[in-house]
Chain A
């Protein structure tokens, strides 16, 4: 089986209708360094075909039996990607190195992520790359107020690209930047018209690309540190970010209010990977529909460098690893972008689960005496675990 880093990245280009996705795509396609990029668009647009290949996919979504909206398999994308891979393997098309999927304006990127991570064939050939969201500097404030899709597109992004900067006033632009940082502090905000807009940074650099993951992690750590410092100063903790004057949630205050916001926290103790997996899988099972994004840089017991985890709603990428820490700070840190989950309850829960893996002597003794509900330390390889009485609520 291929290592996750060796899979072909599928980047998602999204943004509201008229935000400038196609303009950005055309600019990217002119970049010589992005030769070998396959582009999938939803309909025939004005994208010029140069050294890139363009395929077209209609939007049809297959809802899976469990009915979870974020776990809707994109049937069209699945078919298109399988077909592309077959043709690539047969030599029918050039050997592309990455894919860009341009979505419609109201598309939710999560079903695309689900398709890549959960489809039994695709997961062996493709992985999710960057979610690049184009944000219209003029219309975004109103869109974020009115449309939850716009909020989700920002919250799920790995890169935010601001368009129409020349049409937005300086004050409005500053307010928008604050709002974007509140929704998604880890995504760099880039200017579309700027000469600094690096095509490689948009579509190649990510935490799974071996050549660039250190740089990506350093940037990620810097942004979380800034977000935490901005909110709580020296405590190193942060709650949901204030937006503008702090009088309304980051998600919006119009006809579709949401309480989507990011929270960041650090974790002093070394994490037990197994306990962390139990905790995060349980959290995403119960609250995945409210957790838009979860990113963590973890100090895992027994692993010499930091471990990166990256979750999108109910989905989690396979963890990635760095050989060394970017600086002297060895604390684990997490960013959770959610709709209404509080930092303190998340943090407290993680502490409790991590403590199960390393019980203090007093606790181990209490567990042995059956004080704690469900303290089953029976050998799982033999015997049946002893059920305990359920706690009353």
Chain B
């Protein structure tokens, strides 16, 4: 429990390797929570950018989610992120959406924006 705010601490989100030390303790690469957090933010920004959103670190393990119009909110983990992102974007965020997948596809892969029409 946090001694300042009295909030009960959970196990941490399952996506964070720090929440499962028995699984990730012996990773064979230099791995720190900070580096993982940066990596996650980078991946998320590629996805969120499709919806006009962006994410950046704030403090105390939280991140700021911003819309292109300047609205913002704090999120603590990806579990909190997706509902907040849908509120800010005003639409659903679907990882199976063909438009998103086309935007994520590497150039020249044939799946990117406009690639299908060029074939």
Interface set, chain A 110-164, CB cutoff 8 A to B: 120-121, 123-124
State A384–B45 Cα separation when bound (angstroms). Answer: 11
Which of B's residues lie within 8 Å of A, judged by CB? 8, 10-11, 13-17, 19-24, 26-29, 31, 34, 36-57, 63-64, 66-68, 78-79, 81-83, 89, 92-96, 99-101, 103-108, 111-113
Q: Is the CB of A374 within 8 A of B45?
A: yes
For B39, give its contact among A274, A303, A372, A378 (CB under 8 Å).
A274
**Which residue of B is nearest A392, CB measured?**
B99
Interface centre among A303, A321, A341, A388 (most CB of B within 10 A): A388
For B20, give its contact among A121, A280, A318, A367 (CB under 8 Å).
A318
For A283, give its contact among B19, B26, B52, B96 (CB under 8 Å).
B96
For A374, give its contact among B14, B16, B47, B95 (CB under 8 Å).
B47
Query: Chain B's nearest CB lies how many Å from the CB of A314?
Result: 9
For B38, give its contact among A121, A375, A379, A390 (CB under 8 Å).
A379
Number of interface residues of A (CB under 8 A): 71
Q: Is the CB of B38 within 8 A of A388?
A: no
Q: Is the CB of B96 within 8 A of A380?
A: no
Q: Is the CB of A285 within 8 A of B83?
A: yes
Q: Is the CB of A374 within 8 A of B46?
A: yes
Q: Is the CB of B43 within 8 A of A302?
A: no
A-B contact pairs, 12 of them (CB 8 A): A287-B94, A303-B23, A319-B23, A356-B43, A360-B106, A380-B41, A384-B54, A388-B49, A389-B68, A390-B52, A391-B103, A393-B99
Q: Is the CB of A352 within 8 A of B101?
A: yes
Q: Is the CB of A123 within 8 A of B10?
A: yes
With A304-B28, A355-B104 as given contacts, are A282 and B52 in contact (CB-CB < 8 Å)? no
Nearest 10 interchain pairs by C-beta: A374-B49, A277-B15, A385-B54, A376-B45, A380-B41, A390-B52, A285-B82, A363-B106, A321-B23, A388-B49
State A373–B105 Cα separation when bound (angstroms). Answer: 10
Query: Chain A's nearest CB lies how many Å from the CB of B3?
Result: 16
With A4-B22, A277-B15 as given contacts, are A376 and B93 in contact (CB-CB < 8 Å)? no
Interface centre among B34, B56, B67, B68 (most CB of A within 10 A): B56
With A273-B17, A381-B38 as given contacts, are A375 and B107 in contact (CB-CB < 8 Å)? no
Q: Is the CB of B95 within 8 A of A372?
A: no
Q: Is the CB of A282 within 8 A of B47?
A: yes
State A66–B87 Cα separation when bound (angstroms). Answer: 13
Query: Chain B's nearest CB lies how many Å from the CB of A5?
Result: 7
Query: Chain A's nearest CB lies how many Å from the CB of B70?
Result: 10
Q: Is the CB of A302 within 8 A of B47?
A: no
Stretch at the interface among A231-239, A253-261, A343-351: A343-351
Further contacts, 17 of them, CB under 8 A, given A355-B104, A383-B56? A123-B10, A274-B36, A277-B14, A302-B27, A303-B24, A304-B28, A318-B11, A349-B101, A355-B105, A367-B46, A374-B53, A375-B45, A378-B45, A378-B56, A380-B38, A387-B68, A391-B99
For B78, give its contact among A281, A286, A348, A367 (CB under 8 Å).
A281
